[in-house]
Amino acid sequence: MPAQRVGSAPIAIRQFEVVGQDASSEPGFVGHVALAAEERASYAASAVLPVLHMRPPLEREGECYAHCVGSADLTVDEELQIRLFCEEVESEYEAARLGGLLEQYVICPHVKDVRREDQTVIYRRFSCVGFLLEAYREAQIDVLWTDLAPLPLVGLDALKAQYPRFVRFLDRPDVRDQLGIGGDGPWPVVLAGYILNGLARPEREIRTTPYLARPGDEYFPARRPGTQGRSGEPS
Amino acid sequence: MIRLEWRSIKPKEGTRDFEALARRWYSRASPPVAPSPWDQASRPEEPWARVIADADVSIVSFAWHGFAEGSHILLCECKIWSHEAQSEPGVANWEDLLKIEATRALLRSLLPMEVCRATGSWEERVAPDLADLKSRLGRVFEIRRRIVRSQEEHSRDPAPASTKQPPVESAEAEAEGADPESRCRAIVESLRRPDLEHEERRKLILKAEVLPFRGQHAAALVPLLRQFIETYRESNVPADLVAVGSAIRNYVATAASDDAFEAAASLLKAQGRLPIPIELEVEVTKMVGRKLTANPPTERDQYTELALRLEELVDAYARPRFLAREKYGAVALNAVLGLVLTRSGRDAEVLERMRTLDVPWFQQLLARRAARLRADLLSRESGAKFADIARVLGQLSDRNPSTLAS
C-alpha cells in the first residue's frame, strides 16, 4: 500500500512524497500535509523531516513531524515537473510571508486564481492540501476528485481541528468569507487526510482514477461514521 | 582602515572551485592586476574602495559562485559590513550574519549598502575583461551611493514642523480594517512620500499585491510599482527581491498591456544594465504568460521587443544542461509559451527547437500546459480570432514524447 502510518520502525521517504501530520488535538486526524523536501533512507516517528509546504505561507525549507506518508511512486521526470511547479509559485508565497498570510491562503476551493481587472492572474491561493494536489496534477497525477459537489460536507468543528492556527479567525464570518467558506456551513472542503487516503490505493489506481473522498477520510487510516471515533461530519 | 577580504564560499552543486578559477583569472589578467585581491591591501583608486571609505565600512567580502559547464557566468557577491562585525568569529556569509542578532542590527543601520551584487561574463580561455567587471561593480556601488546620498539629503532637510506629515506607518495602519478602497488610497499616498522608510515601502509594495486595486487607484499605483522595480531590481537583499517580485507581478497584471510588455522586455534585456536575478526572470516570464493569456494581442507581432527577449531566453535556457537546474526550467517553459502567445511569427523555430530538445519531462510538461492554454483560448467567445495561436499550441501539445513514441 503506497500510504502508511509512521511507527517506530524506520521507513524510507522519497522527495515529494506526501507527508501527513496529525492534529495535536486528535491523533489520527490529519491536521496538515506537506511534500517531503528531501529523501530519507531511514525515517522513524519523532524525527523532524525537512518539508516543502503551505503552512501558510509556503515554506521551502520547513520542518514537520511525519505521522503518515503517502507515495505515488514518482518517477524522476515527475519529480522534476513537481519541482518546477513549486519554483513557479514560491516567490508568491515569499511575498505572503512578508505581507499578508490570510490573503494568499484559501480553504474552499482548494485553489483559487486571483485576478486583476483585465482578468490577468496575479497570484494563486492554495490550501495546504490544495498545493500538494496541484503539484501532483502538474505531473499528471490526479490523486483526488475535487469537484465540490460530491465532496463530504465539513462543519466548523472539523475545520478548527484542521486549522488550529486559524481557530480565532474561523469564528469571524468576514474571515471565513475571505477564506472561501462564507455563511455558517457545512462546506465541501478538501481536508488534508483525503490525499493520504487517496494514496492508500494500488499505484495503478492512483494514476488512473481520482479518489472520491468520503466522510471519515479526514483520518488516516479512514474512520467511517458509526465505526469508531468522530466522523468529521457536520457538527 | 579598509581591508579587502576574498573568500570562497561553498560552491553550488555542480560547480568547480571558483576561488581557484578566480585566482587563475587574476593571475592571467592582461595587463596584470597588482596587487591581486588576495593581497589584503586596499587600493583607494578602486571604485568600490572609495565608496566603502565614504560609507565608513571596513570589510568587504567577495564571494564567487559560478556555473561551470558552458554557461561561463561569474557571479560575484560583495558583502560589506562595518568593522564591529569583525568581533564575530567565523562570519563567512550573509546567511550566517543574519543569524546573529547584534550584527543584524548593525547591518540594518548600513542599509542599503549591506549587500551588492555584480555579474560579469567570463571565458576561461580568453583574457578576462577585468575593466568591464570593475565598471559593473563601480556602477553597482554608484547606485548604492546615490541612494545613501539621497537618504542623507532627506534626513538633513526634514519638512518644516508646521507642514510635517504624520508618521508614514500611520496612514496605512489607520486604514487597516477599513474598506479595500480606502486601504488602496492610503497605500498610494504612503508610497508617494519620499521620506517613507525603505522597510515600510517594501511592506506596502507587498500589501498592494493582495488588495483589489481598480480604476484611479490602480492608475496611481502603476508608476510607483515601476519606480520601485527600477530602483531595487539589482538589490541583493533577499527581502528586496521578494518585494520586487511582488511589484513585477502587480505591475504586469495592473498596467495597460503595452506598458506591461514594454517593462517586461526592458527587465529581460541583458545589455545596458545588470541582468535581473533568475528569481525575477521567473516572475517576469510567468506574468507575461498570464497577461497574454488574459489579453491575447489583437495584431500579429504587436510586441516585437518582448518577443525578441523571450526568444533570447528560450535560446539560452532551453537546453538539457540548464533545464534541470533550479528555476531555469520555469523560465524556459514560460518563455516558450509567452513567445507563442505574442504571435511573433517565430513559431516554426520554437516548435523545431522543442521537437529536438530531448528532455522528455520538460516536453511533457510543456505539452500539457500548451493543451490547457489552447483549451482556455478556444473556450472564449473570441477564440476564433486566435486560431493561429491555438494552432501552434496544438502542435506544441502534440510534442508529448510518449505520443510521438506510440
Residue B290 and residue B335 in one domain:
yes
The answer to whether B210 contacts A87, with C-beta atoms less than 8 Å apart, is: no
d(Cα B214, Cα B31) in Å, to the nearest integer? 58
Give the distance from residue A132's alpha carbon to the nearest chain B alpha carbon, in angstroms.
17
Identify which of B122, B158, B159, B105 has the alpha carbon closest to the alpha carbon of residue B26. B122
In a domain, B89, yes or no: yes
In a domain, B234, yes or no: no
d(Cα A170, Cα A152) in Å, to the nearest integer? 19
- Select the residue from A16, A60, A61, A80 to test the B interface by mutation, using most B Cβ atoms within 10 A: A80
- Per-residue DSSP letters for B160-217? PTTTPPPPHHHHHHHHTTS-HHHHHHHHHHHHT-TT--HHHHHHHHHHHHHS---HHH
**Nine-digit cell string for B49:** 574602495
Find the mean pLDDT for residues A124-145: 94
Contacts of A121 in chain B (CB under 8 A): 253, 290, 293-294
List the beta bridge partners of residue B73: B67, B121
Contacts of A83 in chain B (CB under 8 A): 326
**Nine-digit cell string for B75:** 557571479
Residue B109 and residue B198 in one domain:
no
In a domain, B71, yes or no: yes
Residue B207 and residue B265 in one domain:
no
Helix or strand run (H / E) with residue B28: helix B18-28
E strands, A77-222, are 111-115, 121-126
**Nine-digit cell string for B197:** 522608510
Q: Is A76 exposed, middle or buried (0-12, 13-18, 19+ CB in 10 A)?
A: exposed
As a whole number, the mean pLDDT across chain A is: 86
**Nine-digit cell string for B277:** 536575478
The answer to whether B294 contacts A78, with C-beta atoms less than 8 Å apart, is: no
Q: How confident is the model at residue B178 (pLDDT cuts 50, 70, 90)?
A: low
Predicted pLDDT at B400: 54
List the beta bridge partners of residue A112: A125
The answer to whether A122 contacts B214, with C-beta atoms less than 8 Å apart, is: no
Q: What ipTM describes this predicted complex? A: 0.89
Residue B273 and residue B315 in one domain:
yes
Contacts of A95 in chain B (CB under 8 A): 206, 209, 242-243, 245-246
Residue B14 and residue B140 in one domain:
yes
Give the distance from residue A29's alpha carbon to the nearest chain B alpha carbon, in angstroms.
32
Q: How confident is the model at residue B191 (pLDDT cuts 50, 70, 90)?
A: very high
Predicted pLDDT at A105: 83
Predicted pLDDT at B18: 39
- Region of residue B343 (phi > 0: left; psi between -120 and 50: alpha; otherwise: beta): left
Q: Comparing A58 with A35, which gets the higher pLDDT? A: A35
Taking each helix axis from N to C terminus, what angle separates B328-341 and B304-317, rounded to the nearest 10 degrees? Answer: 140
- % of chain B with per-residue pLDDT over 70: 53
The one-character DSSP state at B275 is P
In a domain, B111, yes or no: yes
The answer to whether B209 contacts A116, with C-beta atoms less than 8 Å apart, is: no
The answer to whether A120 contacts B290, with C-beta atoms less than 8 Å apart, is: yes
Residue B299 and residue B335 in one domain:
yes
Residue B78 and residue B189 in one domain:
no
pTM: 0.71
Predicted pLDDT at A227: 64
Residue B339 and residue B220 in one domain:
no
Find the mean pLDDT for residues B69-92: 31
Predicted pLDDT at B357: 92
Predicted pLDDT at A27: 85
Nearest-Cα residue of chain B relative to residue A76: B361
Residue B148 and residue B262 in one domain:
no
For A42, how many CA atoms within 13 A lie in the half-sphere containing its CB? 3
Among A7-11, A168-172, B111-115, B295-299, which range has the highest average pLDDT?
Answer: B295-299
Residue B372 and residue B292 in one domain:
yes
Output the CA–CA distances (angstroms, integers) from residue B158 to B108, B165, B186, in the order listed: 21, 10, 22
* Least confident span in A88-102, A153-167, B112-126, B343-357: B112-126
- Total domains, chain B: 3
Predicted pLDDT at B234: 83
Q: How confident is the model at residue A19 (pLDDT cuts 50, 70, 90)?
A: very high
Residue B181 and residue B149 in one domain:
no
Q: How confident is the model at residue A195 (pLDDT cuts 50, 70, 90)?
A: very high
Q: How confident is the model at residue A97 (pLDDT cuts 50, 70, 90)?
A: low
d(Cα B52, Cα B79) in Å, to the nearest integer? 11
In a domain, B288, yes or no: yes
In a domain, B269, yes or no: yes
What pLDDT, in 10s, does the model give residues B48-62?
Answer: 333 333 333 322 333
Comparing CB atoms, the residue among B214, B294, B361 nearest residue A77 is B361
Find the mean pLDDT for residues A224-234: 54
Q: Comparing A93 with B368, which gets the higher pLDDT? A: B368
Residue pair B27/B17 in contact by the 8 Å Cβ criterion: no
Residue B146 and residue B193 in one domain:
no
Q: How confident is the model at residue A7 (pLDDT cuts 50, 70, 90)?
A: confident
Predicted pLDDT at B273: 64
What pLDDT, in 10s, does the model give residues A64-83?
Answer: 888 999 999 999 999 999 99
Contacts of B281 in chain A (CB under 8 A): none
In a domain, B167, yes or no: no
Nearest-Cα residue of chain A relative to residue B327: A87
Give the distance from residue A182's alpha carbon to the nearest chain B alpha carbon, in angstroms.
18
Find the mean pLDDT for residues B186-207: 93
Q: Pick the last residue of a domain from B90, B120, B153.
A: B153
What pLDDT, in 10s, does the model give residues A145-191?
Answer: 998 878 999 999 888 888 877 787 888 898 899 899 999 989 999 99
Residue pair A127/A148 in contact by the 8 Å Cβ criterion: no
d(Cα B400, Cα A143) in Å, to the nearest integer? 22
Predicted pLDDT at B362: 96
Give the distance from residue B246's alpha carbon to the nearest chain A alpha carbon, in angstroms.
6
Pairing assessment for the beta strands B3-7 and B59-67 based on DSSP bridges: parallel
In which domain, by residue range, is B107 found?
3-153
In a domain, B202, yes or no: yes
Predicted pLDDT at A66: 87
Find the mean pLDDT for residues B142-157: 47
d(Cα B356, Cα B111) in Å, to the nearest integer? 48
The answer to whether B282 contacts A88, with C-beta atoms less than 8 Å apart, is: yes
Tell whether the model's pLDDT for residue B80 goes beyond 50.
no
The answer to whether A99 contacts B203, with C-beta atoms less than 8 Å apart, is: yes
Tell whether the model's pLDDT for residue B94 goes beyond 70.
no
Domain range list for chain A: 3-208
As a whole number, the mean pLDDT across chain B is: 66
